[in-house]
Amino acid sequence: MLHHLSPSPQVSLVAPSSHYRRRRPARVVRVFRSICRTLPIFTPKCKISVGAATTVACSAVASPLSGTDSRRNSLVTGTLFGCRKGRVSFSIQENPRCLPSLVVELSLLTHVLLREMSTGMVRIALECEKNSGNAANDGKAASLSSRALLEEPLWTLFCNGKRNGYGVRREPTEDDLGVMETLRVVSMGAGVLPARAEGEEEVAYLRAGFDHIIASRDAETLYMTSPDDGPGPDLTIFFVRM
């Protein structure tokens, strides 16, 4: 179903809370599917021992989206949007009425994403490398090593297994906030927003709820949900630090 909405001239979005409210218990089927989806899709660049893998999994740092509590699973609002002839951006919010917690600009053209979505399954992977630092910059290296995964500034982008440029984390722009403000009453849907001014392009968007799962300090995943596990596109976004 398409939503045609007019942009709002003012921004009434509020700051996200320190932690997200607890979501309702997931169904057994959804839990099983989430477990299956956590299977890795990357070929490791190096081999690590079982002991090292266990250390990584148990040494998680707080994600900007997870608040200060120890929960590793939450429900957030995700929006993919972009001009029809431009690039796609991805925004994450605590809920549709909150300011974005994360905005990533993808070097993925909107029409390419729409084409991939028509296949029914899309896997977007954002991969970055660990910064090991050196002896002369121990303080900087320690700071980088403690950085939350979603605070990384740059990722290599893969869409359905094909490298497609980069993803860049940035602060939300006035145009971003305009889109979020226009969609503040929309919790799920896809459509086109009219141009805000003469000469500007329409903005296509896809909004849905996403299960945000923190597997470790170096792996977080967002699974798009659908009402009552009904039919719809299967979209998963992986953030991985290798």
Question: What is the tens place of the pLDDT at every residue in 48-75?
Answer: 333 333 223 333 344 556 554 444 678 9
Q: Which helix (H) or strand (E) holds 50?
A: helix 50-58
Q: 138: pLDDT confidence band, cut at 50, 70 and 90? A: low
Q: How far apart are CA 149 and CA 202, in angstroms?
A: 32
* Model pLDDT, residue 1: 43
Higher pLDDT, 42 or 99: 99
What are residue 28's phi and psi, to 5 degrees? -60, -40
Give this prediction's pTM: 0.72
Q: Is the pLDDT of residue 95 over 90?
A: yes
* Model pLDDT, residue 199: 79
Mean pLDDT across 25-49: 44
Question: What is the tens place of the pLDDT at every residue in 214-236?
Answer: 999 999 999 999 766 666 678 99
The token duo for 29 is 């089927």
Note whether 156 and 127 are within 8 A (CB). Answer: yes
